[in-house]
Amino acid sequence: MENKVSLCDTNHSYCLLLMYLTVNVAPRGRATQSAEPLSVETDPSMAIDSYRNPTELEKTCASVPMQDDPWWRLDLRSIYHITSVSITVTQCCHEQLNGAEIRVGLREDIGNHRCAVVSTAVGRYKYDYQCESMFARFLHVVLPGQQRNLSVCEVQVYGSACMPRTEHSQMTWKSNSMM
């Protein structure tokens, strides 16, 4: 665990990383998706409920019904310095996620920077990706293609808090004269 304060450039405005403590910030967010879920059990928020029991994952998965280019979105409600993303899927349908794009950035639409493209493998249900230190408020899981079904059981977004420039520009910096 590393504690440090640093200035960072995010699209020509600055932010201050208060603590460089990487934690899962996904549960703080609000999830939506490109189509209404078929039931309460497949609501978009199910993917950020922090429930990761691998034998019962299908009970807490978000699922977008069959459509062209389905997406699942997480609004983190604040800007974070994102370092990695983890996605967990069910044993039954993990191949449905193959080719999905994880997009991270400050835009609410799906045009953000691509962090990764999911490449599924038999017997693997959790996929971890490094995002090269991106600043983001929004994360999208987008599944390009015709008539696709998108299901995600747990999405974890690891990052640290970022104070917007307007807040830290009014801070008074004190030198440490005690040393």
| CA angle in degrees (0–180, nearest 5) for 129-134-139 | 70
**Minimal CA–CA distance to 71: which of 124, 41, 107?**
107
Cβ neighbours of residue 63 under 8 Å, at least 6 residues apart? Answer: 37, 38, 42, 149, 150, 151
Determine contact, residues 157/26, Cβ cutoff 8 Å: yes
**pLDDT value of position 70:** 97
Tokens 């080719």 correspond to 99
**pLDDT value of position 20:** 58
Domains of the chain listed by start with CATH number: 25-156 (2.60.120.260)
Residue 4 burial (C-beta neighbours within 10 Å; 0-12, 13-18, 19+)? exposed
**pLDDT value of position 56:** 61
**pLDDT value of position 115:** 93
Instruction: Give the pLDDT means over successive 10-residue stretches in the chain (179 positions).
Output: 41 50 91 92 91 64 93 96 91 81 95 92 86 90 95 93 57 39
pTM for this model (two decimals): 0.79
Between CA 13 and CA 11 the distance in angstroms is 6
